[in-house]
Amino acid sequence: MTRVDFYVLADGARGDRLGLTCRIAERAYGEGRRVLVHCPDMDLARRLDRLLWTFRDGSFLPHGLVGETNPRYTPLLISTNGEPADEDQVLINLGAEVPEFFGRFERLCEPLDRDPSILRAGRQRWKYYSDCGYDLKHHEVR
């Protein structure tokens, strides 16, 4: 069963969920995991792609947009539709909805910031996963 972790920026924490996504991806990559980031649209995907180049001095995360990079050599992929279908280690969801393909992943990460609409959508996803019997973990991030 997929492990589901919610990462919520604490009150007063700097940054937003895109910066938090970079931190989660960096940690997973450092553990030797492959990461697929699900973005609901290409604009957000491109913003994240740019941020991954600059979010931390001295950091390098080999990443790319699906369709613009070779997935075989890219351990951190950004996708708008869950492709490629053979990715199955870590999924980071930036969509407002539960991704229909999340069940194939070992781990699902749900990064949330303090934006009321982001939190509201996150609560709905929490309820869905809980109702489905997933063991949920909550992490408050500073």
What are the phi and psi torsion angles at 86 (to 5°)?
-90, 0
CA distances 95 to 3, 4, 56, 141, Å, are 18, 15, 24, 20
Strand order in the sheet with 136-141: 63-65, 76-79, 35-38, 90-93, 107-112, 3-9, 136-141
Asked if residues 122 and 110 have their Cβ atoms less than 8 Å apart, the reply is yes
As a whole number of angstroms, the distance between CA 87 and CA 106 comes to 10
Give the residue numbers spanning the domain of 121: 3-141
pLDDT of residue 58: 83
Question: Residue 128 sits in a domain of what CATH number?
Answer: 3.40.50.10110
pLDDT of residue 142: 93
Q: How many residues belong to the chain?
A: 142
Q: What is the dihedral of CA 57, 34, 47, 122, to 10 degrees?
A: -110
pLDDT of residue 57: 87
pLDDT of residue 100: 96
pLDDT of residue 60: 86
Token pair belonging to 36: 């697929």
How many domains does the chain contain in total? 1
**Each residue's pLDDT expressed in tens, for the chain with a length of 142 residues:** 999 999 999 998 989 999 999 999 999 999 999 999 999 999 999 999 999 999 988 888 999 999 999 999 999 999 999 999 999 999 999 999 999 999 999 999 999 999 999 999 999 999 999 999 999 999 999 9
